[in-house]
Structure 1
Amino acid sequence: MDVDGKVAIVTGAGAGIGAALAQELVSRGARVVLGDLSPKVEEVAATLNEAAGDSAPVAVAHVGDVCAEAVIDDLVRLADDTFGALQLYFANAGIIGAPGLDVSESDWDTSIDVNLRAHIRAAKKLVPRWVEAGEGYFVSTASAAGLLTQIGSATYTVTKHAAVGFAEWLNITYGDAGVRASCLCPMGVETDLLYAGRETGDPLGVAATNAVLSAGEVLTPQHVATIVLDAVADERCLILPHASVLEMMRQKTSDHERWLGGMRRYQASLLNDSR
């Protein structure tokens, strides 16, 4: 899909990949609604409008919990009323979750809501209208952890696997009806989320951050956003900013038991280094 002249929503747009996606969309001629729980999203929208220098806005912001159905409704309404019919939705908001197995039911619910149900709720609202229009694009931000696994956080691993599965299902089920679905699965990206594990002080959390930092190059959000929009232009489903993830997937599927053993050894070395 050519995003020039299109209308998009980006969640988690107050910083990191979300803010970079909004910037890249605007640079390619799109008009964007930015959603985030943080008021910083208003600053991002203001910066985009100032840079554009147009009399009419190229970006508007909405502060709210983007995994709530009412807020998703507000975002879609804002897009339709400000810019016209919405064609792209970037379900980008995410959280890392607490490390280990001793995670409360409430924490599990929050991770599932943010990392998965937010995607489902947005798709339920948008896909039927896109099928009717014959065109639409849903882009979800998952993680390489959704294809491999995440040392440290079970909630992150499980919900990101589910997000990948949902994106694949959307692509298969509605691709022939004009609705495209892509899934972003990066490793290390220079965002606050990358260092969240260290902030917990938990050995598994520290190991989680160190695992990502040692696994490959840490990319800038801007670099990732460029890769994502190039993939949207080509209508590719699986978006891998780190090419090494594809080889890691092949190693996992070619000899699963060996891969699991290697991951256990890797985790042990990281835990030893974090002590």
Structure 2
Amino acid sequence: MRFAGRSAVVTGAGQGIGRAIAHALTAQGMRVLVSDLDGAAAARVAEEIGGHSLACDVRDPRQIADLVTHANRVLGQIDLWCSNAGFARGDGDMAVSADDAQWQDSWDVHVMAHVRACRLILPDMIARGEGWLLNVASAAGLLSQIGDAAYSATKHAAVSLAQSLAISHGDQGINVSVVCPLYVATPLLGYDDDRAEDRPHDRVILPDDVAQALVEGLRAGRFLILPHPEAADLARGRMADMDRWIEGMRKLRARVWDDENPDLRDLHRRI
């Protein structure tokens, strides 16, 4: 991908990974529209990078349509769409304890937000014979996240959706990438900012590390971008012997998960 002079929309960019992506793309010469559920946070990041901003709840199809319309107006066209917005709330006492509302939110944020955006932006990209679709999923979409079935299931769906987009539209000039990091020091894991120095081990990387891997992956035209390279080995082991992998995950859960005080934000410190 050639970045200079191109335009990008990044959702969930008011903090964490999305903010780092907005900065990284701007540094490569792109014009960026920052979107976030928190409009004030989006505006702050836009001011940092000299970009544009718009508040958007990606669960709402009408707000996604407004975001696309606004992006086309202020950017001229959308060259790169980055679906980064995401959340994790945990299961409770069973893998299926989360209520229907949480499952629906997970589906809408992690999957349907990208579907709905692509329905609107793909026709123009196909007509131009060029465009980039980027989904920040998770290594949970290749493996599984202990303690959050809704997160894991919808991140798997996000990876599958990216594959379908690449298969169906690659010959039309549409470039598709999916980013699957493991643990990143963001508010989702309880870190206050992207300068977190109290990371418990090297597997917890910074948002800037994810953004740099993303830029390198886009430049190389890679579909699967792994800020944690070890995720590839873990995924290969899972596919080679699923029963053995599940047994290993059961043992890991028994060692690190506290059923009495489940806390996703603390889990990464015990692995």
- 8 Å CA contact 2:58–2:108 kept in 1: the answer is no
- 8 Å CA contact 1:93–1:114 kept in 2: the answer is yes
Match of 1:4, SS state, is coil
For the pair 1:116 / 2:76, whether they are aligned, the reply is no
Once the two structures are TM-superposed, the CA of residue 236 in structure 1 deviates from its matched residue by 0.4
Looking at secondary structure, tell me which structure has more helix per residue. 1
Match of 2:227, SS state, is coil
Aligned runs of 1:1-275 on 2, under 5 Å?
Answer: 1-38=1-38, 39-49=40-50, 59-99=51-91, 100-195=95-190, 217-271=203-257
How many residue pairs end up in the alignment? Answer: 250
Cα distance change, pair 114–215 in 1 and its aligned pair in 2 (3 A): farther
Once the two structures are TM-superposed, the CA of residue 67 in structure 1 deviates from its matched residue by 3.1
- 8 Å CA contact 2:33–2:53 kept in 1: the answer is yes
Q: Which amino acid aligns with 1:147?
A: L
Query: Deviation digits for residues 121-161 of structure 1, max 9, x if unmatched?
Result: 11111112211110000000110000000100010010000
| Farther off after superposition, 96-105 or 1-10 | 96-105
Cα distance change, pair 229–164 in 1 and its aligned pair in 2 (3 A): same
Cα distance change, pair 31–140 in 1 and its aligned pair in 2 (3 A): same
Match of 1:130, SS state, is helix
Q: Distance in 1 between matches of 2:116 and 2:201?
A: 33
Q: Distance in 1 between matches of 2:83 and 2:60?
A: 12
Cα distance change, pair 274–266 in 1 and its aligned pair in 2 (3 A): farther
Query: Deviation digits for residues 193-218 of structure 1, max 9, x if unmatched?
Result: 1239xxxxxxxxxxxxxxxx888611
Q: Distance in 2 between matches of 1:149 and 1:272?
A: 17
Q: Distance in 1 between matches of 2:58 and 2:30?
A: 21
Match of 1:65, SS state, is coil
Match of 1:242, SS state, is coil
Alpha-carbon RMSD:
1.8
Once the two structures are TM-superposed, the CA of residue 271 in structure 1 deviates from its matched residue by 2.6
Q: Which amino acid aligns with 1:173?
A: S
| Farther off after superposition, 96-105 or 136-145 | 96-105
**Aligned-residue identity in percent:** 38
- 8 Å CA contact 1:9–1:90 kept in 2: the answer is yes
Q: Which runs of 4+ in 1 moved over 6 A?
A: none
Once the two structures are TM-superposed, the CA of residue 222 in structure 1 deviates from its matched residue by 0.9
Cα distance change, pair 214–251 in 1 and its aligned pair in 2 (3 A): farther
Query: Deviation digits for residues 64-109 of structure 1, max 9, x if unmatched?
Result: 2123222222222222211211110000000113324211111111
Q: Which amino acid aligns with 1:30?
A: M
- 8 Å CA contact 1:66–1:118 kept in 2: the answer is yes
Match of 1:252, SS state, is helix
Q: Which 5+ residue runs of structure 1 have no aligned equivalent?
A: 50-58, 197-212
Q: Distance in 2 between matches of 1:221 and 1:5?
A: 24
